[in-house]
A and B are shown apart, each in its own frame.
Chain A
């Protein structure tokens, strides 16, 4: 009876994982496909499509754009999130709860709404659609997350560390540079990695706010429209692996956080 139960449980588990990961596995498998269209039966393997990808100027441009947008928007979101979290935790201004709420609120707003809002706003100001505007959009969506992650790492114990540093003669700037930031570093890295992961495969904002220079998800979307080929699978595989790598890094940082004394 127990045996039957565990058989059912494991079958169910296998089905769930299969449902989630089979498309990804298929995508990765057919990136090594020796043929013009990624359909069964599988032939190969070959690295031909990866070589094609490296030669594809448009894809490579889009990749560079994505990296630039990701790094810039994540750095900005992390810096702003840190300043907001630090200010609220240390100075406890009047209406802190409200400020906190307003900072977190954009999490609940659809990307479409944010993109349309930015698009209309930019139009009104006479600013053209560009990667810079995408950076702004990604800061909007990542700031609440960066703020939440960093806020959760601020503790009264850290405040006492800052107090001790001041007591020993450190100026405010040195307190920040020598104590606050180093102690919060795992939280800052986690916020940055999370922001980058989200920016990396964000499509709606990037699509609506760019024109000629586009990010990788937008470029992939347009290449799918012109027809499937295994090169798309190759780039999809790379995007997926990079996201997974960042996720693993973030989880590692977080598991270290939990073991810390302070």
Chain B
């Protein structure tokens, strides 16, 4: 099996007055694991549905390995889908479910049996072919759905919130499985979710979608550490977003905020006088004075223990900041702390 390269050009979808997708351009590398991340209503399901051939776009094209498949019906596409509710055929056992796509392709019985066994082994369900679908657990159903979609060796596999129905522990476990299966098969995986942790754990590239537009697109680490938009900063993990204005001074450009003047580390986000927002992750705010940039003193208003760190709300002037402080510096509510940050961890973004 080998994955295909998917190119999406100027894709739009309108339902009457409602715009589900607005002029999407996206390139998905062959054999990569791409996660489309967005809140409900962001258009991510519509995008997947267009890729699968279940929805026709209002404008734009979808190319798979250079071939225009925009209006090809699902049955004749180089894609298969793992549905959110798995959609396993209740009147067939596991083996017949998995063999369905092969039977439709008129694959001879012997080869069918061999390939079903192979793909069941791939998803960790060896010897389950004779089991009744109704007797399977949620995680097992998920694996059968995956096997059924993979057995026809699609160049592109589409996954619609595939882990949404599983409990947290099983979800994390299945994430590792999906990652392994994707590497093993080399198939291009396009996975839709609203769970940013899932996205970061799985993706080679994350596409952040909001209101039918791409907010950000890149490797998860880059998207998390240096988000391209205010929306991404807030949606991919927690973030403190502070309004500011670009000012010029002797050393160069800086941003003036309620927390003081913050020097601009890289290129300028705008000309002096333009409005920007400053985004600082809660885990980047330090309470031990180790950051190079002092942000003044604040009072701890609330402190919650959360296992690996303390989640605090610290009041600085009129601002309230979320701080994830390490347990080595035990804080208590009412205490005053000196906040600082490494200037490299500060992200400047356009104000929307």
Contact = CB atoms under 8 A, between A and B. Distances in A.
Interface in B121-155: 134, 148-149, 152
Contacts of A164: 81, 83, 87, 89, 148
Given A168-B152, A174-B104, A163 B87 contact: yes
A182 B91 contact: yes
Nearest to A157: B85
Given A161-B87, A183-B91, A262-B90, A167 B104 contact: no
Interface string A30-45: 0000000000000000
Contacts of B53: 167
A167 B90 contact: no
A183 B152 CA distance: 23
Interface string B47-91: 000001110000000000000000001111001110101010111
Interface residues of B, number: 24
A163 B74 contact: yes
Contacts of B105: 169
Contacts of B74: 163, 166-167
Interface residues of A, number: 21
B101 interface: yes
B104 A170 contact: yes
Interface in B23-52: 52
B100 A160 contact: no
Nearest to A172: B75
A182 B152 CA distance: 23
Interface of B: 52-54, 73-76, 79-81, 83, 85, 87, 89-91, 100-101, 104-105, 134, 148-149, 152
Interface of A: 157, 160-161, 163-171, 174, 178-179, 182-183, 185, 260-262
26 contacts: A157-B85, A157-B87, A160-B85, A161-B87, A163-B54, A163-B87, A164-B83, A164-B87, A164-B89, A164-B148, A166-B73, A167-B53, A167-B74, A167-B75, A167-B79, A167-B81, A168-B152, A169-B104, A169-B105, A170-B100, A170-B104, A171-B75, A178-B100, A183-B90, A261-B134, A262-B90
